[in-house]
Amino acid sequence: MATWRQPDWDSIRRDPQRFWEPKKRLSILELTDSGTLELEIAAILWLLVERRTSLITAAGPRLAGKTTLLNALLDLRRPEVDIVHIKGEEEDFRFLEDTEPARTYLIAAEISNHLPAYTWGDVARRVFEVLPKGYALGATVHADAAEEVLGMLHGEIGVPVELLAHVGMIITIEMGPPLNGAAEPMRRISSVSLIRGRGQRLAIDRVDCRRPVRSKELARLVAARLGTTTDHVLEEMRKRARSLERLGENGRTSSAEVRRAVVDFYTPRGA
């Protein structure tokens, strides 16, 4: 069973990047083992991260695992994709001078005004302004639903609707009582919402991950987003699920081992 750790808030204040590099970084396999999400859902999310879909993980309560899940999903990115950490109030956007947008995820430890290391106000708006250049965003938000996330970004920060359309997906997490005598609360993905822009309006395609047959429903929505067929998405899902299953069968479940396996997944044989 995966263990969820109390954040070191003093370290976050001094160095926001350390927020994303905990001593024990949980992998997507450890999260599937703990019941946070199913393997097939993880495999479909891998496909979206492969396409550098901007994503926000959201939950109302603290310690629900927003950052843990986002870190695990980012481990599924392609080998050539880099990560740039937004430095909160101190961000100067010099990364624009030496990064390739099409190969970069911008990471905001949290979109809120709770700490100087978090992303808010003018910095948050500018982050969204650079997304049309080709950058992808990974962030966390305190919210219970996709509508709440979008409402906060637009209503409180002032991000224009046309820029909110660059938020590809919002994943919500719920907490509950411990299961089967476990010491930790139950944490699981409650929904995956894909965001589409429709002029000055946004459309939310949501999959309730607490219901059965949700992987096929999510595959259908992902296929529409990627401009392919549901069968193709399901085929790619199965490839990635098998890759993750083999790691688990061999006991290679740590974040570092999963990351190495993802790099190998994209490396041509004999290279």
- Tell me: pLDDT of 4 over 70: no
How many other CB atoms are found less than 10 A from the CB of residue 37? 22
**Cα–Cα separations (whole angstroms), residue 170 to 9, 53, 108, 237, 246:** 25, 10, 14, 19, 28
**pLDDT confidence tier of residue 18, bands split at 50, 70 and 90:** very low
Of residues 257 and 11, the one with the higher pLDDT is 257
Domains and CATH numbers, the chain: 23-261 (3.40.50.300)
- Tell me: pLDDT of 258 over 90: yes
Work out the average pLDDT over 235-260.
96
Pairwise CA distance, residues 233 & 219, whole Å: 6
Pairwise CA distance, residues 238 & 252, whole Å: 19
- Which pLDDT tens digit goes with each residue over 92-141? 999 999 999 999 999 998 999 988 989 999 999 999 999 999 999 999 99
CA 4 remoteness from chain centre = 17
**pLDDT confidence tier of residue 200, bands split at 50, 70 and 90:** confident
Positive or negative torsion for Cα 120, 123, 125, 127: negative
pTM: 0.89
**pLDDT confidence tier of residue 270, bands split at 50, 70 and 90:** low
Q: What is the mean pLDDT of the chain?
A: 89
**pLDDT confidence tier of residue 6, bands split at 50, 70 and 90:** very low
**pLDDT confidence tier of residue 10, bands split at 50, 70 and 90:** very low
Work out the average pLDDT over 201-225.
89
Q: What 8-state DSSP symbol labels residue 68?
A: H
pLDDT score recorded for residue 122? 97
Pairwise CA distance, residues 137 & 146, whole Å: 16
pLDDT score recorded for residue 211? 78
Pairwise CA distance, residues 128 & 197, whole Å: 14
Pairwise CA distance, residues 169 & 68, whole Å: 17
- Which pLDDT tens digit goes with each residue over 136-182? 999 999 999 999 999 999 999 999 999 999 999 999 999 887 767 66
Helix ranges restricted to H, the chain: 9-14, 28-34, 39-50, 66-74, 121-130, 146-152, 161-164, 214-226, 230-249, 255-265
108 contacts: CB under 8 Å, gap ≥ 6: 86, 118, 119, 124, 127, 137, 138, 139, 140
259: left (phi over 0), alpha (psi -120 to 50) or beta: alpha
